[in-house]
Amino acid sequence: MKTALLLSYLGSQYHGWQRQNNALTIQQLVEDAWEKTCGCKAYISGCGRTDSGVHAKYYVATTDAPTTIPLERLPMALNARLPEDVVIRRAVAVEDDFDARFSCVQKEYTYLIHNSRVRDPFSIDRAWFFPQALDVEAMQRAAGDFVGTQDFAAVHNEGTPVSSTVRTVKYCQVEARPGDIIAVRVCADGFLYNMVRVIVGTLVYVGLGKIPADGIPGILRSGDRLQAGTTAPACGLYMTALTYGRRELDGRSD
């Protein structure tokens, strides 16, 4: 059996999930905590790579490393070895063939934009401060055109090579929240490199009037990254929901 860990972390101080030789990452912190706590090295596989500065309110990782600590006590033991901005919330047993990434049916990301003329010090590194006025209604109309099974080559940046740029977006929603916050919520069966951040940047261009609200289908058909908007900064992006079809692992957190 493997162990699945449910995590939350604030990514501002870290260079994403995946372990790197010259930068501190979430994977390194969790693996080091496991070794110190359980007395053995562990490879802990995450449900996806989050970029430097990206946050996760809901994240799943797995390992087949052994532990004699009861699973109900394991989160507390690991958290004692972790910094305050990385938290293990739950540990559950899963089958050997379970994979945190490939067993995931769909993921949801939420992006926060602080759309105000005055900066909020409590949103620094946690939302994209954008002082220019945005047309939220136009952004909402445009967001729906990202939904469906489509080629999303136009809204991703070059990264790890992929065999296909076709993905299925379940929903793409723009919501005005209290405190001058605009939230963009995107759920899909999988994501390309920077896909959500480019979708957000493209919707911001719609909100500015640089791209018409009905212009998204044409951009996607073109497959041309240059026709889409900017890549939104990492600080506003959160992984907020995962679906595995398992009650003990499925969840979301806004």
Q: Quote the strand ranges of 72-165, DSSP E.
A: 86-94, 106-114, 128-129, 148-151
90-99: b (≥16 Cβ within 10 Å) or e: bbbebeeebe
Cβ distance 115 to 134 under 8 Å? yes
The answer to whether 99 is a known catalytic residue is: no
Rg (CA), the chain: 19
Specify the amino acid at residue 180: D
Structure tokens at 59: 């994240």
- What are the backbone angles phi and psi of residue 174, rounded to the nearest 5°? -120, 130
Structure tokens at 77: 């033991």
Q: Which residue of the set 51, 85, 180, 189 is catalytic? A: 51
Kindly report the number of other CB atoms within 10 A of residue 119's CB atom.
11
Q: Which residues are catalytic?
A: 51
